[in-house]
Amino acid sequence: MTLKIPLVVALSSALAACGGGTVTEPTASVSSSTVSSLVASSIPAPSSSVAPVLSSSVASVSSSSIASVLSSSVAPISSSSVASSSSLPASSSASSSSAQSIPNETPLLSFGGGVFTLTYNAATMMFSEPREVSDAGDIRYVTTNNKGVIYTSGEDTVGAYTWDGTNFTQISSRPAGGKRGSGVDVHPNQKFLATSNYTTGEVVVFGLDDDGTIKDDAQIYAHGETSLPHWVGWRNDGKYLYSPFKGDDVIRKYAFDKTAGILSPGEVAWRSEDGEAPRHMTFHPTLDVAYVLTEATSRVVVFRIKNNGSLTELQSIEALPANQMDKSGAADVEISLDGNIFYTSNRPNQTITAYSIAADGRLEVIDRAVQNINKPRAFTFIDSRNLLFVANQGANTISAFMVGLAGELDFAAESTDSTLEKPAFIMQAKKTRQ
């Protein structure tokens, strides 16, 4: 387990060295942007003795660097004591008098054999008992728009739902244009919804009304039952839609006219080695860089994205150790909002792998978590709380991990297995805004 020295210790010591005040303990882990804001607003002229803490690269400071700043009079603080307080502001403008504390509780929604709500408490490091809020069926892929409307990709339908903290309410549903939904994503302009169908091989685009409901008309591109598309997503600027096809071993790109709302026929943007089965893909939030995970070989391929949507291979890196014989079963990918950390999951090897992201988008493995992980089909990283939640499809549970300064993972808690049914997707539950 990687050593974690709470940020409150480093900050308190730094403030003391400059004649400043004190910093109380946070409810949960604090992002690097919050730390930088706190320090900048509290210390007018930092001395060299606190430079390691005050630099803009707080997120990458090692425990040894922090330790060198601490005076011998500062006593260690345990993770449980940090979690039990609630006074450090969570706002990026930490100096503001109106900044609010990070709450202890994180509400979640779990999807799979039904939809369940449960809560994780960072102070007690415990989950509440899951409660079923919908019997909507086998839902494995979920996304939201900027108002919190929830879109689901099911067996043969696409649905739109609202969440008010108690009720999961359907506001529209449309035929998916195929069978066994395998991806869903909202266009950056919030006016279109893309989905994919695994069994029958379609990529589909629907229009969205202003209230988030799904329109009737759909554009459908069929690639055949052996093509097996397993994800779909818009590039950050919305000019291209991408989908990995496991059966064809390709990534297809589709030019999109967002004014007319017309999707062009797909063309191959990249072809993997035979049998690698590219499965999931994501985009860096600020760089023209994409990441693809292959299911059969657990390889992460980093791409430079050109203006015309083409993909140029920048790096290839193994998600599992070199001595791992069976590398099949890779599943999901996540990237932090600041673009500094990347994660992948592998189901047979029960692993979540963490990577640091360099300035050019390249990856380096920094940690592999295996404790209390069982067939991790999906997971979610909640940046604002430095928590990562894993949907353990093989154990009918959710596991919580604390995320360290560099993105490393420490197991915190696991929910009970009494209620959840094969969780395939997990997300933070945020109320829909009208």
Q: What is the pLDDT of residue 102?
A: 66
Tokens found for residue 17 = 């060295």
* Final residue of a structural domain among 26, 50, 83: 83
pLDDT in tens, 267-306: 999 999 999 999 999 999 999 999 999 999 999 999 999 9
Name the pLDDT band for 310 (thresholds 50, 70, 90): very high
Tokens found for residue 234 = 């818009």
Q: How far is CA 353 from CA 80, 300, 343, 365, 403, in A?
A: 25, 11, 6, 7, 12
Q: What is the mean pLDDT of residues 70-95?
A: 35
Residue 100 lies in a domain: no
Whether pLDDT at 56 is above 50: no
Residue 89 lies in a domain: no
Q: Do residues 72 and 129 share a domain?
A: no
Q: What is the pLDDT of residue 19?
A: 44
Q: Do residues 24 and 61 share a domain?
A: yes
Residue 420 lies in a domain: yes
Q: Do residues 114 and 68 share a domain?
A: no
Of 1-5, 178-182, 241-245, 303-307, the one with minimum mean pLDDT is 1-5
Whether pLDDT at 20 is above 50: no
Looking at every residue in the chain, the average pLDDT score rounds to: 82
CA distance 17 to 45: 11
CA distance 400 to 409: 10
Residues 6+ apart with CB under 8 A from 57: 32
Q: What is the pLDDT of residue 26?
A: 39
Q: Do residues 60 and 205 share a domain?
A: no
Q: What is the pLDDT of residue 419?
A: 86
In eight-state DSSP terms, residue 49 is G
Q: What is the pLDDT of residue 123?
A: 95
Q: How far is CA 253 from CA 221, 269, 286, 292, 372, in A?
A: 12, 6, 20, 13, 37
Would the pTM count as exceeding 0.75?
Answer: yes
DSSP string covering 262-328: EEPPPEEEEE-STT--EEEEEE-SSSSEEEEEETTT-EEEEEEEPTTS-EEEEEEEESS-TT-S---
Length of the chain in residues, anyone?
434
User: Residue 316's beta-bridge partner residues?
Assistant: 301
Q: Do residues 349 and 408 share a domain?
A: yes
Q: What is the mean pLDDT of residues 173-199?
A: 97
Q: Do residues 23 and 167 share a domain?
A: no
Q: What is the pLDDT of residue 90?
A: 35
Q: What is the pLDDT of residue 101?
A: 58
Q: Do residues 79 and 109 share a domain?
A: no
Q: What is the pLDDT of residue 287?
A: 98
Residue 94 lies in a domain: no
Residue with tokens 């660097």: 65
Burial of 222 (0-12, 13-18, 19+ CB in 10 A): middle
Of 83-97, 211-225, 290-304, the one with minimum mean pLDDT is 83-97
Residues 6+ apart with CB under 8 A from 111: 139, 140, 142, 152, 423, 424, 425, 426, 427
Contact of 339 with 287, CB cutoff 8 Å? yes
Q: What is the pLDDT of residue 103?
A: 77
Percent of the chain with pLDDT over 70: 76
Q: How many CA atoms lie within 13 A of 266 on its CB side?
A: 27
Whether pLDDT at 37 is above 90: no
Q: What is the mean pLDDT of residues 73-98?
A: 34
* Final residue of a structural domain among 34, 51, 83: 83
Q: What is the pLDDT of residue 216?
A: 94
Contact of 108 with 129, CB cutoff 8 Å? no
Bigger pLDDT: 63 or 227? 227
Dihedral of alpha carbons 395, 119, 279, 60, sign: negative
Looking up residue 240, the CATH number of its domain turns out to be 2.130.10.10
Q: Which residues of 343-380 are buried (b: 16+ CB within 10 A; e: fewer)?
A: bbbbbebbbbbbbbbeeebebebbbbbeebbbbbbbbb
Residue type at 18 in one-letter notation: C
Q: Cα torsion at 126, 132, 137, 141 (round to 10°)? A: -40
Q: What is the pLDDT of residue 60?
A: 39
Name the pLDDT band for 11 (thresholds 50, 70, 90): very low
Q: What is the pLDDT of residue 14?
A: 42
Q: Do residues 327 and 357 share a domain?
A: yes
Whether pLDDT at 47 is above 70: no
Cα Dmax for the chain:
69
Of 67-81, 360-374, 383-397, the one with minimum mean pLDDT is 67-81
Q: Do residues 122 and 154 share a domain?
A: yes
Q: Do residues 246 and 323 share a domain?
A: yes
Residue 97 lies in a domain: no
Q: What is the mean pLDDT of residues 224-243?
A: 98
pLDDT in tens, 330-356: 999 999 999 999 999 999 999 999 999
CA distance 337 to 117: 24
Q: What is the mean pLDDT of residues 193-203?
A: 98
Q: How far is CA 125 from CA 105, 108, 224, 392, 427, in A?
A: 10, 15, 47, 18, 18
Residue 36 lies in a domain: yes
Q: Do residues 222 and 303 share a domain?
A: yes
Is residue 272 within a helix (H) or strand (E), and if so which, with residue range? none
Residue 88 lies in a domain: no
Whether pLDDT at 327 is above 60: yes
Provide the number of structural domains found in the chain: 2
338 phi/psi in degrees, rounded to 5: -85, -5
Q: What is the pLDDT of residue 44?
A: 42
Q: Could you list the residue range(s) of the whole structural domain that residue 24 is in?
A: 7-83
pLDDT in tens, 91-115: 333 333 333 456 799 999 999 989 9
Residue 150 lies in a domain: yes
Residue type at 367 in one-letter notation: D
Q: What is the pLDDT of residue 326?
A: 87
Q: Do residues 232 and 330 share a domain?
A: yes
* Final residue of a structural domain among 30, 50, 83: 83
CA distance 25 to 375: 35
Whether pLDDT at 50 is above 50: no
CA distance 104 to 114: 26
Q: Which residues of 395-434 are buried (b: 16+ CB within 10 A; e: fewer)?
A: bbbbbbbbbbbbbbbbbbbbbeeebbbbbbbbbbbeebee
